[in-house]
Amino acid sequence: MFAEKGEIFYRFLTVEDKDDVINLLANNFCIEEPICKCLNFSEKERYEYATYASMFLADNRSMGAFDVNNSEKLCGVMINSASDFDPGINMEDYLQSVSKNTQYSIRVDNFLHKRIKELTKDGHFFACNWLSMDAAYFGKGIAKNLTLRTNEWLKNSRQFDMWVGVSVAPNAKHIGEKDGLKSVLEINMSEYQDEKTGERIFANAQIPLLHILIKAVKSTKSNL
């Protein structure tokens, strides 16, 4: 849908892209993203968490960027879902099946999802769950293009009232703000307590404030 001339090709991702998405997230997001960085994932945990994230591809709302000049290598992803998307797992059983840091991370995601549900008063929203570039492609404007294309699609789709994202990396916040999202809540993760163990897992971490960003989505089409 977003095919265009040039070096980078953008399209919606499907479950067929799962292996490439897992590799990209495990070797970039899980190393560079500030929360993952604090948790200092092992290789096994990186792949476990990336596999969890890849389940959201099944909602068919995620976007990928591909390098035309490098065998159409996947170089960036924006993993999105509708607020009511259910990855079809029993969360308690799933958490038992993964390593400690992976459990912490998934519980952080669940905590944030609950905060967002409260903030949006259980509205039907579009959520950007994971935004990541392959590090070899950082700073080239590709992440910004992924969100721009998503913004265009959202305006035309008329399916959602709101677009919600979470940023902990300052450049990710900047990208969201360029698309018109605004920070509605700042969370100091040094005070965060793990829901199961009560541990303040980020108490001594150098971690930026986490922001929940929201934008009202206005359809560009008439409602007739």
Ligand X SMILES: CC(C)(COP(=O)(O)OP(=O)(O)OC[C@H]1O[C@@H](n2cnc3c(N)ncnc32)[C@H](O)[C@@H]1OP(=O)(O)O)[C@@H](O)C(=O)NCCC(=O)NCCS
Question: Quick one: CA torsion of 97, 100, 196, 56, rounded to 10 degrees?
Answer: -60
Contacts of 10 (CB under 8 A, 6+ apart): 2, 3, 4, 63, 64, 65, 66, 145, 146, 149
Rounded to a whole number of angstroms, the minimum distance from the CB of residue 78 to ligand X is 8
Rounded to a whole number of angstroms, the minimum distance from the CB of residue 46 to ligand X is 12
Residues contributing to the site for ligand X (CB under 6 A): 28-29, 32-33, 131-133, 138-144, 167-172, 174-175, 178
* Between 23 and 219, CB nearer to ligand X: 23
* Between 158 and 182, CB nearer to ligand X: 182
Task: Characterize the bridge pairing of strands 162-167 and 210-216.
Answer: antiparallel
Is residue 28 within 8 A of residue 133, CB to CB? The reply is yes
Is residue 210 within 8 A of residue 183, CB to CB? The reply is no
* Between 88 and 151, CB nearer to ligand X: 151
Is residue 201 within 8 A of residue 194, CB to CB? The reply is yes
* Between 54 and 220, CB nearer to ligand X: 54
* Between 207 and 219, CB nearer to ligand X: 207
Rounded to a whole number of angstroms, the minimum distance from the CB of residue 147 to ligand X is 8
Rounded to a whole number of angstroms, the minimum distance from the CB of residue 172 to ligand X is 4
* DSSP H or E stretch at residue 162: strand 162-167
Rounded to a whole number of angstroms, the minimum distance from the CB of residue 144 to ligand X is 3
